[in-house]
Amino acid sequence: MTDRALADLAYDMLSRSYVPYSKFPVGAALLCADGTVFTGCNVENAAYGSTICAERTALVKAVSEGHRDDLVKLAVVGDSTDYCWPCGACRQMLYEFAPQLELLVGRGDREFTKLKLSDLLPHGFGPKALT
């Protein structure tokens, strides 16, 4: 799958976001090594701490379907003028399963930048830290 195709799947998820409080829709698409893609959107809640981000939605869907060690690339996009960088909680959750994950981070004009999760979380805390 091309980077553009994966980013487009993430952009398609913006319309599914439930964002009555922030008005900040985010979409995500997570590619696995076998070509399977899991999408997600952010879902807010009146109890703000119960809100879940788009990238964690896609990650939890993948893990719940048995994909843990084969996460390859994640597109996370927003409808904003700046790139939609994953928050700290999402960076940590993603690091748990795929420290070398490739990220496509997009903005509202459908432009995106490409980098590794380890660039955003260079000294991440993961399972290996517990040994």
Q: Is 55 a catalytic residue?
A: yes
The phi, psi pair for 27, rounded to 5°, reads: -125, 155
Using the 8-state DSSP alphabet, how is residue 43 labeled? B
Residue ranges of alpha helices (H) inside 1-131 are 3-12, 54-64, 88-97, 117-120
* Active-site hit among 55, 96, 102, 111: 55
Measuring CA to CA, which residue among 39, 104, 35, 43 is closest to residue 70? 35
Residues involved in catalysis: 55
